[in-house]
Amino acid sequence: MERDARIYVAGHRGLVGAAIRRRLEAAGFRNLLLRTHAELDLTDQAAVRAFFDRERPRYVFLAAARVGGIHANDTYPADFIRDNLLIEVNVIDAAWRAGVEKLLFLGSSCIYPRLAPQPMREDCLLAGPLEPTNQWYAVAKIAGIKMCQAYRRQYGFRAISLMPTNLYGPGDNFSLEDGHVLPALIRRFHEAKEAGAPSVTVWGSGTPRREFLHVDDLADAALFLMERYDGEEIVNVGVGSDVTIREAAELVRKVVGYPGRIEFDTSRPDGTPRKLLDVSRLGALGWSARIPLEEGLRDTYRWFLEHLAEIRR
Ligand SMILES: NC(=O)C1=CN([C@@H]2O[C@H](COP(=O)(O)OP(=O)(O)OC[C@H]3O[C@@H](n4cnc5c(N)ncnc54)[C@H](OP(=O)(O)O)[C@@H]3O)[C@@H](O)[C@H]2O)C=CC1
Ligand SMILES: C[C@H]1O[C@H](OP(=O)(O)OP(=O)(O)OC[C@H]2O[C@@H](n3cnc4c(=O)[nH]c(N)nc43)[C@H](O)[C@@H]2O)[C@@H](O)[C@@H](O)C1=O
């Protein structure tokens, strides 16, 4: 990508979009096209087409989506399937119509079957039933993958699809009900420490396993693949190892410096028992993650403390 190329980062204020923006700016890309949700609602097809017609970016990073943790996905199925389908259809189609040179679409490790053999290879997609708690979001993501592949086949549109594992980092969604596990636990342990609470409750049994990739690593992989990969096949992006939710909670307790106990609320869903990605396709392309989990959690907790007022609003 040329340094002066016009690059649209959709969702630039989110966890991933903000990290992609940081990574592009650090690499000297200055001609970034950015619109907030309030300025451009990507579920509005006419507005999206008019935007692409007017602005004509050369590259698009599609990091805008309706995203949430296990409880949000399970509670708002219609919102998750509708908004993600609309965003994908509108942006991918308008980008092609406006002559965008290359588009990077972000799927998720949730697209794979609930009980896929571990680690999960890209070719196990649609090989079995989905995890019920996020099947709606997963179907929307699978539709986005298929749309990128169909537009490449029929129109030669250079769309590539990345499948990130669970992400965390600065700028995450720290909502206790709607966020993902790591930001929610950082906030829970911090607030328990401040309040002198005797224990912190973690959802589920603590036995599910999750792989966690720092969002700055994901952003680096996104730039790497936008510049070096141009295939129809999806590419998993992860660290290649996982921990139990209990181990993750104990690590967050250590990072936050909370002295109390951990309790488990098994009335809350565990979700997929395990979803470790096979990252050999990405490795063969020459990329691997760098940020270790404990270091990444310390970085995220520092950001959380610096933005407490904004988070608690
Ligand atoms: N977080 C994770 O663990 C993982 C994320 N991903 C994928 O990465 C991508 C980004 O996720 P993440 O950064 O975590 O999500 P965030 O919720 O942090 O960011 C999403 C961004 O999209 C914007 N957005 C949502 N709806 C609309 C809309 N209708 N019009 C315009 N903008 C909109 C949001 O703006 P606003 O907040 O103002 O509404 C926000 O800036 C998604 O595709 C997600 O599926 C994949 C795997 C794991
Ligand atoms: C990222 C990817 O994957 C997401 O699915 P998920 O990995 O199941 O999401 P999660 O991070 O919310 O939960 C992970 C595990 O952690 C446990 N858990 C404990 N305590 C809390 C807690 O306090 N909050 C949350 N959210 N989970 C908790 C929770 O019970 C579960 O066992 C999709 O939503 C979807 O967004 C997607 O694309």
Question: What pLDDT, in 10s, does the model give residues 82-108?
Answer: 999 999 999 999 999 999 999 999 999
Q: What is the pLDDT of residue 140?
A: 98
Of 66, 70, 130, 141, the residue with max ligand 2 atoms within 8 A of its CB, to mutate for a pocket test, comes to 70
With a 6 A CB cut-off, is 252 part of the ligand 2 pocket? Answer: no
15: Cβ below 6 Å to ligand 1? yes
The pLDDT, as a whole number, for residue 103 is 99
pLDDT band at 312 (very low <50, low <70, confident <90, very high): confident
> Would you say 275 is a known binding-site residue?
no
Residue 210, CA atoms < 13 Å, CB-side half-sphere: 26
206 is known to lie in a ligand binding site = no
Q: From CA 137, how far away is CA 83, in angstroms rounded?
A: 9
Is 47 buried (19+), middle (13-18) or exposed (0-12) by CB count in 10 A?
middle
- Cα–Cα distance, 60 to 58 (Å, whole number): 7
Angle of helix 293-306 relative to helix 245-256, nearest 10 degrees, comes to: 50
Whether the CB of 183 sits within 6 Å of ligand 2: no
Q: What percent of the chain has pLDDT over 90?
A: 99
Place of tokens 């990507």: 42
Smallest CA separation from ligand 1 atom 39, residue: 37
What whole-number distance in Å separates Cα of residue 19 and Cα of residue 198?
A: 35
For the chain, the helix, strand and coil percentages under 3-state DSSP, each to the nearest 5: 45, 15, 40
pLDDT tens-digit map of 102-157: 999 999 999 999 999 999 999 999 999 999 999 999 999 999 999 999 999 999 99
- Residue 300, pLDDT above cutoff 90: yes
* Residues designated as active site: 137
pLDDT in tens, 17-38: 999 999 999 999 999 999 999 9
* pLDDT for residue 70: 95
Task: Say if residue 167 carries a ligand binding annotation.
Answer: yes
Tokens of 263: 């309790």
> Which pLDDT does position 172 carry in this prediction?
98
Let me know the angle formed at the C-alpha of 238 by 170 and 273, rounded to the nearest 5 degrees.
100
Residue nearest to ligand 1 atom 34, measured at CA: 11
Determine whether the shortest distance from the Cβ of 67 to ligand 2 is under 6 A: yes
Residue 105 CA to ligand 2 centre (angstroms): 22
Strands (E), the chain: 7-10, 32-33, 59-62, 102-106, 159-164, 166-168, 199-203, 209-210, 212-214, 235-237, 243-244, 261-265
Query: What does the alpha-carbon distance between residue 135 and residue 232 come to, in Å, rounded to a whole number?
Result: 23
**Best mutation site among 39, 67, 70, 165 for ligand 1, i.e. most ligand atoms within 8 A of its Cβ?**
67
To the question of whether residue 11 is assigned a binding role by annotation, the answer is yes
Give, in order, the Cα–Cα distances in Å from 275 to each of 111, 165, 217, 271.
10, 8, 19, 10
Neighbours of 306 (CB within 10 A): 11
Q: Which atom of ligand 2 is nearest to the CA of 182?
A: 11
Burial class (CB in 10 A: 0-12, 13-18, 19+), 292: exposed
Nearest CA to ligand 1 atom 11: 16
Is 280 annotated for ligand binding?
A: no
Domains of the chain, first to last:
7-172+211-241+275-291 (3.40.50.720)
Q: What are the tens digits of pLDDT across the range 258-287?
A: 999 999 999 999 999 999 999 999 999 999
Q: How far is the CA of 219 from the centre of ligand 1 (A)?
A: 14
* The pLDDT of residue 313 is above 80: no
> What is the pLDDT, as a whole number, of residue 190?
98
Mean pLDDT of the chain: 98
Q: Which two tokens stand for residue 236?
A: 């998993």
